Amino acid sequence: IVEAGKGYKDGGRKGEARREIFLLNNACYLLAQLGSAPENKTIGEGSDCESDSFVLTDSWFTSMLNSMIDKAYRGYVRNSFEVLRSYLTEVDAGKFKYQSGNLLSLDSGRQLKSRFGGFADALQEMHEYSGGLRIWSSPWLDKIQQDGLAVIDEYTVFFDKYSRYQFSKKKQEEYLRYPPMVARSIIEGLFKQEGKGETE
């Protein structure tokens, strides 16, 4: 599984994120297929290994898979939601300067442009590279979506606080193209589309 997952490493953040989903899905699949089902044969010292269906009971096996799942989960969060969160740092609005009317000066405006623009681009990228993928384990799908929605809650506070400032003369709508409700719907739809589950 790990060797097969290395094929995703050449695509930057996109490749890394897809690789983590590949590893998570495959590790969950093995854990479900081989680590349970008590009606199947058990492989251990002195057991009959001729059956096509069996259970691995050694603790190292389940520990290895659980470790792989946790590492893949943390890797995906690092390459997606933590990237989004990095753009939600506070800005001291008390130090904003204006060039005319309500329009912020270039220096003040850049502070908000970099944050709103960076968040929007990262969210769009994440939506694109996650399109068509599925996470087959419902508990892990729920956990990943909860992490994503927690970031959207932070984004909502950020958006409500700073979107009222006019920081761009011509492209304000472009920077604010993902209001919180739209961003939330994107996160809620992740990994539920009809498509492959990255298990091949």
Stated pTM of the model: 0.81
Predicted confidence (pLDDT) per residue in 101-157, tens digit: 899 999 999 999 999 999 999 999 999 888 778 898 889 999 999 999 999 999 999
Question: Distance between CA atoms of 75 and 79, rounded to whole angstroms?
Answer: 6
Angle, vertex CA 78, rays to CA 74 and CA 80, nearest 5: 115
Q: Are 176 and 123 within 8 A, CB to CB?
A: no
Predicted confidence (pLDDT) per residue in 8-45, tens digit: 665 677 778 888 888 899 889 888 877 554 344 344 44
Question: Distance between CA atoms of 57 and 196, rounded to whole angstroms?
Answer: 30
Q: Are 62 and 132 within 8 A, CB to CB?
A: no
- Residue 190 CA from chain centroid, whole number: 9
